């Protein structure tokens, strides 16, 4: 066995090279300080039960704990960690040095990367609700030589003792809401990076504190294990056909039989007839559709499907892990897979039901409006739950338990 195989150095270098290439493919540039940290921290020491190749696989998380088959803890996927650290570093214009950071959700690896980024005069505290995870993180951090990370076992829904402020709070578990503790523990102009579910779709938002509100600086498509404890929020899947599901957010009701019945009716395909500019971020379009459909008073849903259902032609979703859909006026409609025209991709909608053509037409109208507006990206503002309607900025309002979210769109 070569030294390289034992230490993982070669695999780590290859992983970082791949992450840089992935960034470039998405039109992103990895910050040098993030790259340096990724090159230095021995990820395999935080995944001792995984093979070296798994530890250094850029795309995959390494699951470290399951409860009844459900993954409840993992060392997150390198691509996602790199993008979220990039969001944080961007929010500070690259000045991460000497920052004080709270990480919510511990695995040890991200805390070690943060330790590298903030340097000896900064600090890193990591909190996890699960003592198995904090014990494991403590042991892995010690083995990798990061003894100066503070590891706390607590439910991060509440303020983390000792009471103090942080420049950066980075949440590494899927949240449904922003509890007041997170805003209150941030310094003014501090940054919260959080994978937040809105309209059933999760994005990692970098939010800057401005008084009692948070305003987004960037967002990225992502997926995470769900928050446990007092902030846990159910997401349910209902089957509407063999291998076809609707993902329902808390409180959403839908009759699966109705949607299943509509899906069994012949489809109508409608095209937007618009060539997509290169590098269009369709995740932004999906939030636009969610906002526009909600503003129009129609029911917004998220469709997901097994590969077998797609192969069988039961559904043709744009993205089988979560595609915008709507149920309205006796028709079920969703964003369908792209088509290649002579020189560009085109957007489409697939609809079933009594007035399927009209439903598909409405959805592609929203798509055209987004393209005509310059493919704008979403901007999120988070305000306290008791903010009166009159004090809300203009935009699509989504009420959560602790906060009022307002989504707007600005041209890229």
Q: How far apart are CA 385 and CA 400, in angstroms?
A: 7
Residue 14 phi, psi dihedral angles, 5° rounding: -65, -40
Strands (E), 129-272: 149-153, 166-171, 186-198, 201-210, 213-221, 236-241, 244-248, 268-271
What are the distances in angstroms from CA 63 to CA 47, 67, 72, 124, 242?
A: 9, 11, 8, 23, 28
Region of 4-12, 126-134, 311-319, 397-405 interacting with ligand SAM (CB under 6 A): 126-134
* β-sheet bridge partners, residue 407: 380, 396
Q: Taking the complex as a whole, how short is the minimal distance between the CB of residue 41 and ligand SAM, in angstroms?
A: 10
| C-alpha closest to that of 268 among 158, 153, 345, 357 | 357
Cβ-based nearer residue to ligand SAM, 116 or 284: 116
What is the closest distance, in whole angstroms, from the C-beta atom of residue 7 to ligand SAM in the complex? 20
Q: Which is nearer to ligand SAM, 104 or 359 (CB)?
A: 104
Q: Which of 175, 173, 161 is nearest to 105 (CA)?
A: 173
Of residues 75, 82, 262, 287, which one binds ligand SAM by CB under 6 A?
75
Measured CA distances, 162 to 64, 147, 166, 171 (Å): 28, 19, 12, 18
- Minimum distance between the CB of residue 74 and ligand SAM, rounded to whole angstroms? 5
CA 225 to chain centre: 10
> Least distance in Å: CB of 138 to ligand SAM?
13
> Is 76 assigned a catalytic role?
yes
Provide φ and ψ at 115, rounded to 5°: -60, -40
How near is the Cβ of 86 to ligand SAM at its closest, in Å? 15
* Mode of pairing for the β-strands spanning 123-128 and 244-248: unpaired
Closest to ligand SAM by CB, 103 vs 249, is 103
Size of interface with ligand SAM, in residues (CB under 6 A)? 29
Q: Which of residues 324-383 bind ligand SAM (CB under 6 A)?
A: none
Q: Which of 107, 122, 267, 322 binds ligand SAM (CB under 6 A)?
A: 107
DSSP 77: P
Structure tokens at 15: 């992983």
Among 109, 146, 182, 199, binds ligand SAM (CB under 6 A): 109
* Angle (nearest 5°) at CA 176 between 412 and 124: 85
Q: Which stretch binds ligand SAM (CB under 6 A): 128-136, 305-313, 315-323, 375-383?
A: 128-136
* Among residues 43, 56, 73, 141, the one that binds ligand SAM under rule CB under 6 A: 73
From the list 2, 73, 74, 76, the catalytic residue is: 76
* Residue (104 or 356) nearer to ligand SAM, CB: 104
Task: Tell me the closest approach of the beta carbon of residue 113 to ligand SAM, in angstroms.
Answer: 8
Name the closest residue to ligand SAM (Cβ).
Answer: 107
Whose Cβ is closer to ligand SAM: residue 157's or residue 177's? 157
Among 83, 116, 130, 286, binds ligand SAM (CB under 6 A): 130
Site for ligand SAM in 136-175 (CB under 6 A): 155-157, 172-173
In 3D space, the residue among 288, 318, 313 whose CA is nearest the CA of residue 300 turns out to be 288
Residues 228-287 touching ligand SAM, rule: CB under 6 A, are 228-229, 231
Distance CA 191, CA 194 (A): 10
In the complex, what is the shortest distance from the CB of residue 384 to ligand SAM, in angstroms, rounded to a whole number? 20
- Per the document, the length of the chain is 412
| 74 near ligand SAM, rule: CB under 6 A | yes
The residue within the footprint of ligand SAM, chosen from 110, 204, 326, 403 (CB under 6 A), is: 110
Rule CB under 6 A: is residue 225 a binding residue for ligand SAM?
A: yes
**Number of other CB atoms surrounding residue 161 within 10 Å:** 9
Give residues with Cβ within 8 angstroms of 150, minimum separation 6.
123, 124, 125, 126
Would you count residue 125 as binding ligand SAM (CB under 6 A)?
Answer: no
Report the catalytic residues: 76
Residues lying near ligand SAM in the complex (CB under 6 A)? 72-76, 103-110, 127-130, 133, 155-157, 172-173, 224-225, 227-229, 231
């Amino acid at each position: 066995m070569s030294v390289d195989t034992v230490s993982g150095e070669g695999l780590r270098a290859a992983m970082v090279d791949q992450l840089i290439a992935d960034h470039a493919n998405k039109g992103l540039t990895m910050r040098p300080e993030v790259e340096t940290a990724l090159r230095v921290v021995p990820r395999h020491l935080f995944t001792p039960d995984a093979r070296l190749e798994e530890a250094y696989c850029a795309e995959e998380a390494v699951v470290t704990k399951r409860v009844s088959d459900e993954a409840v803890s993992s060392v997150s996927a390198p691509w996602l960690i790199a993008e979220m650290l990039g969001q944080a570093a961007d929010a500070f214009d690259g000045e991460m040095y000497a920052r004080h950071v709270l990480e919510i959700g511990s695995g040890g690896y991200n805390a070690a990367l943060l330790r590298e980024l903030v340097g000896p005069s900064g600090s890193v505290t990591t909190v996890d609700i699960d003592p198995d995870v904090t014990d494991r993180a403590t042991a892995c951090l010690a083995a990798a030589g990061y003894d100066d990370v503070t590891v706390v076992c607590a439910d991060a829904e509440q303020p983390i003792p000792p009471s103090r402020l942080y420049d950066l709070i980075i949440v590494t578990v899927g949240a449904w809401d922003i509890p007041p503790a997170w805003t209150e523990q941030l310094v003014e102009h501090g940054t919260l990076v959080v994978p937040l579910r809105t309209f059933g779709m999760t994005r990692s938002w970098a939010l800057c504190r401005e008084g009692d509100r948070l305003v987004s600086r960037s967002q990225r498509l992502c997926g995470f294990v769900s928050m446990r404890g007092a902030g846990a929020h159910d997401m349910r899947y209902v089957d509407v056909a063999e291998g076809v599901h609707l993902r329902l957010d808390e409180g959403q009701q839908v009759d699966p039989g109705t949607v299943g019945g509509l899906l069994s009716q012949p489809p109508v395909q409608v095209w937007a007839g618009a060539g997509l500019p290169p590098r269009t971020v369709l995740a932004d379009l999906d939030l636009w559709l969610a906002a526009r459909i909600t503003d129009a008073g129609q029911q917004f849903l998220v469709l997901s499907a097994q590969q077998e259902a797609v192969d069988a032609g039961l559904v043709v979703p744009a993205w089988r892990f979560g595609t915008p859909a709507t149920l309205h006026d006796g028709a079920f409609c969703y964003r369908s897979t792209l088509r290649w025209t002579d020189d560009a991709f085109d957007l489409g909608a697939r609809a079933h039901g009594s007035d399927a053509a009209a439903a598909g037409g409405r959805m592609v109208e929203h798509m055209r409006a987004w393209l005509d507006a310059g493919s704008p990206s979403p901007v999120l503002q988070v305000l306290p739950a008791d903010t009166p309607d009159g004090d809300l900025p203009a935009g699509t309002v989504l009420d959560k338990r602790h906060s009022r979210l307002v989504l707007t769109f600005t041209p890229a």
